Amino acid sequence: MTSQILILNKKKSYAVSDSVVTIDDCKTYDGEQKIFEISQELSTILLLSGNSRFAGQSIKNFIDEYVSKTDFKTINTVNEIKDTFNDCISESTQKCNVDEYVHDTFIDFEKNMKKLIKNSDKESLIENLKSNSFCTDIDFLKDNSLLNSKITKLANLLLNINSKNEFNCMKHYLTRNYYAFLINNSPNIVLMGYDKCNNNPTYFNYNILANINGKLEIHDEYSVTDCKSTMIFTIAQDSDIELNLTGFNDNSLNNIQRILFEFFNENNILTMIDANDWITFKERLKLKIYNYRLNNLKSIIEYIEVLPDTEILKLLDVLVELTSIKMKFSNGIHSVGGKRIKVVLSKYCGVKFVEW
């Protein structure tokens, strides 16, 4: 697992990452490099999380190859770095077609699902599948007949499917879980730097999935170009970092609603509330918490904008350390933490790795 946090700012930008790598969900080792200098000329770094390998090769090897053979004097933007880096990976890995990719990746996914099916009753299985159905569509897999066939076969293993509608829902959940499985087992790439003709930073975040017929398929690309204000990004373990940073995260609303529901129910208040009024109340509560989180974040950003480099890096370092402690107590292994890697970058001073 990984915990990384970044601050984009038109004057200077910052990144802090842990350095622990987890193997087979039970072993860890410290000292893995997760932030790489790409170009001093464009003050650009790459942050790696998720799977550190792609197509049987280390992402670090791709980075070394790309940096060594690229003339950055001919490159003007961070977007060009992204495209040429992706081309480098595509040229250095074996091509496959969509059916080959589905066949190879579905093997491990099916094993995981069969274990889940074996150890769960129908109700808990559906809830588990629902909770992991967050992933958006993966375009090159949509309408693939082989994937549909495999998902249908897997759905047929589930007992007590009572209707066609329930069966179709189960297929939908399984498809989304397969997408999530692919994302969770792929390299996540973040590129952050400064275009030559622009004083404001640029940010790209995406996952590398496959080399399909010579085209590198990436997923869920998110970008910020010409960033004129201070922005904070969390890479992996973002819910824990946001909780430590603002006091709230996405789970907070659900917990507050659950506590209020239990309180209203115990005190017979629910009987006095119309169903539509309860829905309106929940929406107003959701908006209020969102605004509260936003105001907390604004005050933190205002504070960050006047801090010196060392204090900003200390803040980010503490957030990663708190996440490390929580993960250690949650799963019993030190899956996040170790020596922190700290970087400061700016338009005119390049990339600087910081030690203290």
β-sheet with 13-17: strand ranges across? 231-235, 4-8, 13-17, 341-346, 350-354
Residues 14 and 156 in one domain: no
* Confidence (pLDDT) at 59: 96
CA distance 264 to 207: 44
Residue 297: inside a domain: no
Within-domain flag for 135? yes
User: Do 68 and 104 share a domain, yes or no?
Assistant: no
- The CATH number of residue 8's host domain is 3.60.20.10
Question: Does any domain span residue 202?
Answer: yes
Is 140 inside a domain boundary?
Answer: yes
SS (H, E, C) 133-164: CCCCCCHHHCCCHHHHHHHHHHHCCCCCCCCH
pLDDT at 290: 75
Instruction: Characterize the bridge pairing of strands 13-17 and 215-224.
Output: unpaired
Residues 159 and 109 in one domain: yes
Each residue's pLDDT, cut to its tens digit, for the chain (356 residues) gives: 678 889 998 889 999 998 877 666 666 666 688 999 999 999 999 999 989 999 999 999 999 999 999 999 999 999 999 999 999 999 999 999 999 999 999 999 999 888 887 777 777 777 788 877 777 889 999 889 999 999 998 888 765 666 777 788 888 889 999 999 999 899 999 999 999 998 999 999 999 999 999 999 999 889 998 888 888 888 866 666 666 676 666 677 677 777 877 777 777 776 677 767 777 877 887 788 778 777 877 888 888 888 899 999 988 888 888 777 776 666 655 556 678 899 999 998 999 999 75
Domain count within the chain:
2
| Per-residue model confidence (pLDDT) at position 79 | 96
**Which pLDDT belongs to residue 123?**
75
Q: What is the pLDDT of residues 33-44, one digit of tens each?
A: 899 999 999 999
Question: Cα dihedral sign for 279, 280, 285, 286?
Answer: positive
Q: Is residue 325 domain-resident?
A: yes
User: Assign residue 148 a region: left if phi > 0, alpha if psi is -120 to 50, beta otherwise?
Assistant: alpha
Q: What is the pLDDT of residue 344?
A: 95
The residue count for the chain: 356
- Of 15, 66, 74, 65, nearest to 45 by C-alpha is 15
Is 290 inside any structural domain? Answer: no
Per-residue tokens: 170: 């189960």
Answer yes or no: is 64 within a domain: yes
Do 199 and 227 have their domain in common?
Answer: yes
Residue 56: predicted pLDDT = 92
Segments forming the whole domain that contains residue 176: 98-184
- pLDDT at residue 89, as a whole number: 97
pLDDT in tens, 157-197: 765 666 777 788 888 889 999 999 999 899 999 999 999 99
The structure tokens listed for 334 are 């030190």
Query: Is the same domain home to 71 and 152?
Result: no
CA dihedral 170, 175, 179, 180 (to 10 degrees): 10
In 3D, which of 210, 234, 227 has the Cα closest to residue 86? 210
- Are 168 and 127 in the same domain? yes
| pLDDT score, position 296 | 79
